Structure 1
């Protein structure tokens, strides 16, 4: 980074504050809903059986501990750099850089994986080749992001309503079948339920991304925490009801063998037309998830560059649209490269590794800031403490560690390699700062 970079960045335009509470909440619902439950329900059912609904409840509880921590930290530090800002204030820049690195990677892998899911659905419906379809949707979504945050929010809201309608459709299809199976049937016992809980945590990926809208939300210290908790609650109810409906119609054995579980549920209940309708809705669901992941990854990239931890060019903001256009293009290109990453379950679990590790640090940051800076303003405060130690963030650390232990050894190895690479880059970053 050149010595002039800080001065140049001080004069650059800021992001545009366009988003109110409804837009932020629906944006959050949009990124949480989608590829996770549409693509992973079958795999999770193979591990948890008819008790798959319980895995969504367990994951929601664990996500809730960390969501409250995000809510407190976002009210203290309403910045687009989000996790980087929080950890930098609580622990230090080196750990903050590693966390930011992991979040950016999870966004890139997530966009690539979900776009492949889109390509699969699009290929089944139209006969188009999978890889060009996956690359094509990434390019289209990047154009939407470059156009402006208001336009992006309205596209996301529209697609959120469509994908939510798909889940509601599955719930309604399953209503006449409720009670037809044993909802506590666990073919692999409690161990299978816990493994499935670690997998379906990917379906909740997104609540943590909402805080990256802080510099584009009106009154972010109040809007973001409330929207975060509300979005998580809405999606949890939809997930549990949809999973109950799916096993009621199909049964866990058939559902576990399905690559398009929701579409198969619709086909068995209502025939070919319903299969096509759910397939089209799945296109909107996967596209919306990829859009919001691309948005969040570009914002933390912009935020870290704005804090001079990544090259200054990544913090450039368009004068016309007030979007971080260089960061958007960088994440877009990286996602296109990793569109060849492969099988969705493995990549989802690698993404989960980065999330669990990040959540451990985020919950620890809340605890450390309570001890080190008890008088710092907290417009939103996680309830429940023993002395000055907040209980729920402590539970967030413990439960995230527990889910981390459920991941496959190969996933843990790949995740550790990525974390070590981030640590190495953090030394380079700090050396560059001291040398510049």
Structure 2
């Protein structure tokens, strides 16, 4: 028998393995970097902000599940939006996904710099730039993240969060957990900020081709992974504010180190090291993902082909990696981690609005396409969770400062203009052919 020249991926992942992988994907360094900024506006009620931010993840996660079951071999968000809305919208969403990773890397790099600067006194912005350069060099060298290292990285990050929970246990009940200096507006604003900590849940659907009975396993694992992360984040936020009230970490660039330093000798140094590891690792993975998406879109000629150039020796997408690093450095310029994180969240909110809208639209335009998984709670042909996903994304989108919205609109307009130019050029080439 002739060998299979195009073998399919092996379906070996079971429910527990997908849940663990999902928690690892969601659990990044966002909470290490942003909880101080969020506490400044949400106060002791920051735990409510984590619950509200989780609503977007839950509603939109269901939409990702239906779309991934319809197009299991597709290129994720680009393909999900191309079918209902066409090439231009798909291109815009592809750029938004790339920017979410690039700006996310800048955000986490500033988080790294906050901890490093608090430890050494070095200026934050140069530290963030040096980190991005170092990560770029690592990616160019051809390094491969193995599953073993990924698990170790996740355990260290999770271990730091569990450590904070343990430190705060003796203090539970010592503060008013509904105290919010800016009331509900502050809680909503904090939710719009710390949604960054949930970034990555949408990656779980990409395990579908390697999962046993994905139509049942992936949706259940996604919801369980989100639930575990929510519980962990809420426990961390309650523990942190219990130790000294939200004032102890409000606006702090290194909140966990500050709290640990108050709790026991050597705590500041220990949690600084953990946070440095967590933030550097998260920034590396975000740059890795963004560079590969850039490479993939260039390889299919959706972006200029030069971006798909691969170094002949290292076999890495050199132009895509360097380009992602340079753009990420550009987003360091605001210098304020809160503003940079909100720019990243703008790209996510736009993406998730389109993803939820795609589910609703495809129910009408492609009703006969098999859907091994369907978003529950349908009224007529309209899946209610997808509608709620759009509503919550829009609501939190308009919790952003007008300056952030303006920057986001410029990025959105730039992506639309660039996509229009490329589409016109492709049409002209097709006419000549």
TM interval, short-chain normalised: 0.7 to 0.9
What CA distance in whole angstroms lies between the structure 2 residues aligned with 1:48 and 1:336? 29
Task: Tell me which residue corresponds to 2:285.
Answer: 292
Determine which of 396, 400, 405 is the counterpart of 1:407. Answer: 400
CA shift, 1:33, in A, is 2.7
CA shift, 1:380, in A, is 2.5
Task: Tell me which residue corresponds to 2:321.
Answer: 328
**How has the CA–CA distance of structure 1 residues 210 and 99 changed in structure 2, closer, same or farther, with 3 Å as cutoff?**
same
Alignment of 1:12-31 (within 5 A): 20=13, 26=20, 28-31=22-25
Give the secondary structure class of the aligned counterpart of 2:249.
helix
1:111/1:294 contact within 8 Å kept: yes
Give the secondary structure class of the aligned counterpart of 1:151.
coil
1:75/1:220 contact within 8 Å kept: no
Are 2:393 and 1:386 aligned? Answer: no
CA shift, 1:98, in A, is 1.0
Unaligned runs of 5+ in 2: 1-5
Are 2:65 and 1:71 aligned? Answer: yes
Are 2:154 and 1:178 aligned? Answer: no
2:109/2:280 contact within 8 Å kept: yes
Give the secondary structure class of the aligned counterpart of 2:145.
helix
2:11/2:212 contact within 8 Å kept: no
Q: Identify which range, 326-335 or 420-429, moves more after superposition.
A: 326-335
CA shift, 1:207, in A, is 1.6
Determine which of 38, 51, 65 is the counterpart of 2:32. Answer: 38
Q: Identify which range, 233-242 or 339-348, moves more after superposition.
A: 339-348
2:298/2:305 contact within 8 Å kept: yes
TM-score (norm 1): 0.86
Task: Tell me which residue corresponds to 1:189.
Answer: 183
CA shift, 1:163, in A, is 0.9
Determine which of 294, 299, 319 is the counterpart of 1:301. Answer: 294
2:33/2:112 contact within 8 Å kept: no
What CA distance in whole angstroms lies between the structure 1 residues aligned with 2:231 and 2:46? 14
Task: Tell me which residue corresponds to 1:96.
Answer: 90
What CA distance in whole angstroms lies between the structure 1 residues aligned with 2:56 and 2:387? 11
Q: Report Cα offsets for 1:132-156 as digits up to 9, x if no partner.
A: 5434433444455567786354433
Task: Tell me which residue corresponds to 1:106.
Answer: 100
TM-score (norm 2): 0.87
Unaligned runs of 5+ in 1: 1-12
Task: Tell me which residue corresponds to 1:353.
Answer: 346
2:82/2:90 contact within 8 Å kept: yes
Q: Identify which range, 68-77 or 220-229, moves more after superposition.
A: 220-229
Determine which of 219, 235, 249 is the counterpart of 1:241. Answer: 235
**How has the CA–CA distance of structure 1 residues 140 and 81 changed in structure 2, closer, same or farther, with 3 Å as cutoff?**
farther
1:112/1:341 contact within 8 Å kept: no
**How has the CA–CA distance of structure 1 residues 336 and 157 changed in structure 2, closer, same or farther, with 3 Å as cutoff?**
farther
Task: Tell me which residue corresponds to 1:121.
Answer: 115
Q: Identify which range, 239-248 or 309-318, moves more after superposition.
A: 309-318
2:52/2:191 contact within 8 Å kept: yes
Calculate the aligned-residue CA RMSD, in Å: 3.1
Task: Tell me which residue corresponds to 2:268.
Answer: 275
Give the secondary structure class of the aligned counterpart of 2:424.
helix
What CA distance in whole angstroms lies between the structure 1 residues aligned with 2:8 and 2:421? 28
What CA distance in whole angstroms lies between the structure 2 residues aligned with 1:286 and 1:86? 30
Are 2:386 and 1:364 aligned? Answer: no
What CA distance in whole angstroms lies between the structure 2 residues aligned with 1:231 and 1:140? 31
CA shift, 1:406, in A, is 0.9
1:170/1:266 contact within 8 Å kept: yes
Task: Tell me which residue corresponds to 2:416.
Answer: 423
